[in-house]
Chains A and B, each alone.
Chain A
Amino acid sequence: MTTKKQYAHLHILWMCIFFNFSCSVDKEASPDQAYVFVKPDNFPEPTYTFQNNPVTKDGFELGKKLFFDPTLSRDGSVSCNNCHIQGTAFADSQQHPLSVGVNDQRGIRNAPSLVNLAFMEEFFWDGGVTHLDFVPINAIESDFEMDETLANVVKKLNADPVYLELFNSAFGIDKITSPYLLHALSQFTVMMVSSNSKYDKHMRGEGETLTSEELEGMEIFSSKCGSCHSGELFSDFSFRNNGINDVFSDIGRAGISEFDGDVGKFRVPSLRNVALTSPYMHNAKFNTLEEVLDHYENGVIDSPSLDEELKNGSQLGIPLSEQEKEKVIAFLKTLTDREFISDTRFMNR
């Protein structure tokens, strides 16, 4: 709360009051549009607490440096980027369904894509983390008994004159503490807004139109999948069991809600960029969208927490013809945002 930029705003506000003319601190006052968080027109309101951590160029660039820096891991070998790669919309690389190993209950989980985090209320497949700032602590500390690890990272950063300088220019601080480390990472990740897919441009009337196959796919999708994968983020962010298992070595939401009825439920994932984020599901069960569609059509496994939505027909799952599946996949591919995965702001240059 003590950055120079804010004092500048304060001055402007004072001027407004003293000279009694109305003015607003608008975008003209900010030097670089590239570092301004913009809510896409077709998106919901963001949930992130920007008032506590306004994005600045220095903060974002520092967050980026941290994101690509293996110093954050205990043995100096792994950075955030090892599991979150821009080419797959910051999901992990296709071959690696990776474990985060936070505590015993948490088996192997597939790293989700990191997009549109600014609009989410709960993070992780089980929703255990309720604020973006707190997410990286889990990544940094692999075991919850080892509380000093975050402290060690802070210590390592404080011993590095380059970081001292960067934290000073981003936050005006002389000593690095963990909340500023977490704020810097959030400034980087909260800007990962993916909203320029073919679908978006079609919806916003920006000169792209979906083909008739894609449009039919969209129709089928919204009637058969849209009850869970709803809205512009293609998720209602509830926790559900979509029938991929009947034995749950990873109990999912129940680990957080401590409610037996939630065993086997996982967060409905956003499907933006889904064509890039294979493998699919929390346990990386499927490699292709065809397999996912086949699952919904004829592979749904019954268990006590299986979602009611998947018990509608004569058979478990969602009735889909081969043609319908192809159309849905054609539609899902329109959610790929090439601008996002080639956005140079997120590249480690």
Chain B
Amino acid sequence: MKKLLLALIATIVLFSSCEENGEENPETFGTFQLEFDNVVGSQNMSLSDPGSGDYMYTTDSGEPFNLTLFGYYISKIKLEGPNGELYEDEVNVSANADEVKGYYHVLESNASSRFITLDDVPAGSYNKVTFTVGVEEDGVQEGAAGGVLDPAEGAWFWNWNAGYIGFAMEGGAQNSGQEEVVGDGWTIHEHSFSFHVGGWKDVEPAEGEDQKFVNNVKTVTLDFDSNVSVAENLSPNAHIIVDALKILDGVGVDFSTTYSVHAPKLGQPFAEFIPDTFILDHIHQ
């Protein structure tokens, strides 16, 4: 309802401003694409089958591992320019999948999900992109949502501590202490690992109290090395590298003891390195 009212007000405001400013040049728009390229250090990322004992990657500390799942939510994308240009991607949560806006579930297993095209960016020059990794409180607290936020359609959702998993990687590691667990229709493989980073509650600890809850939703800002023009006939693209090793080496993960992370506090050390994981590689003008 609020949205309808807003739309009405907007229409009225537009209507009256049209009359007054009829001579102004109409604003033009262009597209801007973010491409997320997942890598493991200097190697391309490729996913293994769960349970595979082939470890094609190694951490800094020499631990062999592979990946079977890798992904994250991107939301609240914002472009800024040197002269005050500002574009904020529309964000909306709705039960109707078609009306869910501004939340993107980027998955290594789904090539097209790695490209986010913003298509109504006002023409102008931009030199900075900001986005959120994960789903913040305002996204969770709207209630049941569709599309990439629908838990029945692959959304990463924690039921028991309601909220979305913002960043996850799963795989196998030679030294992982995980034992095989076979359930009703599911298996946790021996030597596997699963790191799910979630938690959105931002509660300031009272004086003298320890931190309760953990907010693992992170904001990433990437500066471009030059200005990028957005215009009707251009299609600029920012190539962003997402390096799994930045997290694993940052945490200094020892798979023999750390192989199952499924709660906000356990995920906190991982979340600290999320901002380092996203690196602007280059811009295509």
The residue among A129, A148, A178, A259 with the most chain B CB atoms within 10 A of its own CB is A178
Among B8, B94, B158, which residue has its beta carbon within 8 angstroms of that of A17?
B8
Min CB distance B217 to A, Å, is 14
Among B146, B157, B213, which residue has its beta carbon within 8 angstroms of that of A137?
B157
Q: Is the CB of B143 within 8 A of A13?
A: no
Say yes or no: is A261 at the interface (Cβ < 8 Å to chain B): yes
Say yes or no: is A6 at the interface (Cβ < 8 Å to chain B): yes
Q: Is the CB of B4 within 8 A of A10?
A: yes
Contact with B along A189-208 (1 / 0, CB 8 A): 00000000000000000000
Among A102, A141, A146, which residue has its beta carbon within 8 angstroms of that of B185?
A146
Contact with B along A243-259 (1 / 0, CB 8 A): 00000000000011111
Residue of B nearest to A175 (CB): B97
Min CB distance A254 to B, Å, is 9
Say yes or no: is B96 at the interface (Cβ < 8 Å to chain A): yes
Residue of B nearest to A172 (CB): B96
Contact with B along A115-145 (1 / 0, CB 8 A): 0000000000000111111100110010111
Q: Is the CB of B159 within 8 A of A134?
A: yes
Q: Is the CB of B141 within 8 A of A143?
A: no
* Contacting residues of chain A (134-192) with chain B, CB-CB under 8 angstroms: 134, 137-138, 141, 143-148, 150-151, 153-154, 171, 173, 177-180, 182-183, 186
How many residues on B have C-beta within 8 angstroms of the other chain's C-beta atoms?
Answer: 45
Partner-binding segment picked from A45-53, A274-282, A300-308, A340-348: A45-53
Q: How many Å lie between the Cα of A54 and that of B209 in the bound state?
A: 40
Q: Which residues of A come within 8 Å of B, CB atoms?
A: 1-2, 6, 9-10, 13-14, 17, 49, 51-54, 102-103, 106, 128-134, 137-138, 141, 143-148, 150-151, 153-154, 171, 173, 177-180, 182-183, 186, 255-262
Q: Which residues of B come within 8 Å of A, CB atoms?
A: 1-5, 8, 12, 93-97, 99, 140-146, 150-153, 157-163, 183-186, 188, 209-214, 263-265
Closest 6 CB pairs of A and B: A179-B95, A178-B152, A179-B144, A182-B144, A133-B143, A133-B144
